[in-house]
Structure 1
């Protein structure tokens, strides 16, 4: 297939769509320039060889499907790939520009990890603080605001909060944020819960990952500067967290496994040590492009490889 875009047959990411003629949320696969409506394939009996895929499994979200054992998910992908190659999905294809995207899974918890040493250094300079020793021993993390998760492209209001100004003698006033910041991050979608009182061995961590997507955790920096001490940011991080509407499944990422480019100093503690260092992370290139409207221009702001992160396998 002559196609150079992101949604190749080796990717087949998972999303949730609606259309103007059908307001019901349903699961879809992005393939080339189309969204494949899985409810149409299901109704046509094309997944009959996978009995676990009951009638309404592709309604509303991917959460039920994500909970299936890996073998079931792999069989589904193999079946889907065959259907595409045999041109049996054409009747279920909808042009991507005609679909409305929604959050691909239901979420009950959102944890925000602080995994990049470069980002940590930059933030330390902005806020004039030292990197604390605990950052090098275990990934820093805080609970995010789950209700702020929105699909990419959703508009949100500029946040207001308490902001302190040196020009006014440090007096804090309630006013709109003037320094909204974006963050290039990766979201990891978890498909298995961990019962209370139990621990997850790091060697089993990958089996709990359904897939990954791009994520932008918007930050109100002026509010954060006044808000974050001593317990960490709250109001500054509650406006919006936008995620890609398409989850790249963990099965599709197996082909880009690689070793980490960044060494940990001091070494990771035993419970966070990854035995297969040559397959410890993924060769995923990330980049940000900034569109300026006045004057109109497009420029590359930053590029980064996921295999350069100080922490990666310990995100979940």
Structure 2
């Protein structure tokens, strides 16, 4: 056994967090499940090899061999377990840390591990659920806010094959666009010239929803494993060509980056809060969340740009700004009977606020590149250039009122030239 490592003051991975991810090391290249504390990963296969989970976890039925669950190369087997059983596992990990009973060999410095995709993703869907984002984008696309935005969450199916884990680099895509870069002109094929990021959260499905069935919103919590930071990279010139008649395709389907550590719903419960928007008058009953005080989460998100070794602050927003919340999103997704499987990923959509510094993408913040962001060193930003790196972060709590800070780590990606 080994004393639990001290947690640095600025660490996102505190004792209040206990996130889950998948790691490998140079000495053991096989991916396996882990948690994180401070600057260390915890190899959960080793922890549960030394434990007696049938005693520690109250002999769950059916019995689970947690050593084998956590030696798998994704978290799907764990995420698919009942929520109360996952809660017991999380409590056991926390108690082991508090009681200094984690084996020494289970602690691995984070700077020595490689992070992998935490879940096997069968399906990926991305929402369009920020009223402020919609208000800012509509004038540039030549229309008003669609009436249906106010009645149900808007969503499209993305490409699960293009989801990558931070810090994998991103390749500038090629596709068809108009030679004007906007909605009119002559179609041409080539590398996108209007590369953008989108500041989002993503959340993974835990308990499946069988095909042909819907989901009661009061049970939505049982179907969400946890959250990651998500960057839905976007090509705005390809998107302008594709939006009519069927919407985004290559402009969104080439890459989506997520942070590698999943923060559980249980860790986020102390940060439950009331959503910014109240739209009960237009909300269908199956989408009505009756406990508004706990309808979403107070999660602060930031976006930074690294260009030529210099870091620039771009955005600070909050998940509670969303018009439609994650609970409403997952219920609406299931409402058509498509079914949801363990490991499916849902993106919240761009998270924007009212102010200039709260706009969750460059398309909004620069008015489609026509009003470039100006920085103190005299540089400016319209759209992303090759070599630019985007870093997204998310945090809960400020250390006040007994709500200890937890974080999600980074979703970062560097833009590479097209090939």
- Same fold? TM cut 0.5: yes
User: Partners of 1:126 and 1:91 in 2: how far apart?
Assistant: 56
Match of 1:97 in 2: 111
User: Partners of 2:163 and 2:181 in 1: how far apart?
Assistant: 35
Match of 1:52 in 2: 64
User: Could you report, residue by residue, the CA deviation over 1:120-171 in whole angstroms, capped at 9, with x for unpaired residues?
Assistant: 2222233223221001100000101010011011113210011102399811
- Give the stretch that moved more between structures: 9-18 or 192-201: 192-201
Match of 2:324 in 1: 311
- Equivalenced residues, count: 314
Q: Does 1:146 align with 2:160?
A: yes
User: Could you report, residue by residue, the CA deviation over 1:41-68 in whole angstroms, capped at 9, with x for unpaired residues?
Assistant: 1222353434423441012111011111
Q: Does 1:6 align with 2:12?
A: yes
Secondary structure in 2 aligned to 1:314?
Answer: helix
Q: Does 1:158 align with 2:172?
A: yes
For structure 1, the residue ranges without an aligned partner over 5 or more in a row are: none
2:216 pairs with 182, 188, 201, which one? 201
User: Partners of 1:130 and 1:283 in 2: how far apart?
Assistant: 29
User: Partners of 2:307 and 2:319 in 1: how far apart?
Assistant: 26
Match of 2:243 in 1: 228
User: Partners of 1:204 and 1:236 in 2: how far apart?
Assistant: 34
Match of 1:75 in 2: 88
Q: Residue 117 of structure 1: CA displacement?
A: 1.1
User: Could you report, residue by residue, the CA deviation over 1:241-299 in whole angstroms, capped at 9, with x for unpaired residues?
Assistant: 11110000011011111111222274312111111111111111111122221xx4322
Q: CA 1:75–1:17 in structure 2 vs 1: closer, same or farther (change >3 Å)?
A: same
Preserved contact between residue 136 and residue 266 of structure 1 (Cα < 8 Å):
no
Preserved contact between residue 70 and residue 207 of structure 1 (Cα < 8 Å):
yes
User: Partners of 1:36 and 1:166 in 2: how far apart?
Assistant: 52
Match of 1:242 in 2: 257
Secondary structure in 2 aligned to 1:57?
Answer: helix
2:24 pairs with 14, 18, 30, which one? 18
User: Partners of 2:253 and 2:114 in 1: how far apart?
Assistant: 25
Question: TM-score by structure 2 length?
Answer: 0.72
Q: CA 1:205–1:167 in structure 2 vs 1: closer, same or farther (change >3 Å)?
A: closer
Match of 2:299 in 1: 284
User: Partners of 2:277 and 2:291 in 1: how far apart?
Assistant: 15
Match of 1:251 in 2: 266
More relative contact order, 1 or 2 (CA 8 Å, 6+ apart)? 2
User: Partners of 1:218 and 1:143 in 2: how far apart?
Assistant: 15
Preserved contact between residue 7 and residue 37 of structure 2 (Cα < 8 Å):
no
User: Partners of 1:240 and 1:166 in 2: how far apart?
Assistant: 24
Preserved contact between residue 40 and residue 109 of structure 2 (Cα < 8 Å):
yes
Q: CA 1:92–1:55 in structure 2 vs 1: closer, same or farther (change >3 Å)?
A: closer
For structure 2, the residue ranges without an aligned partner over 5 or more in a row are: 1-5, 58-62, 331-419
Q: Residue 91 of structure 1: CA displacement?
A: 2.6
User: Could you report, residue by residue, the CA deviation over 1:85-114 in whole angstroms, capped at 9, with x for unpaired residues?
Assistant: 122223311111111111111111111111
User: Partners of 1:202 and 1:167 in 2: how far apart?
Assistant: 42
Preserved contact between residue 14 and residue 248 of structure 1 (Cα < 8 Å):
yes
Secondary structure in 1 aligned to 2:87?
Answer: helix
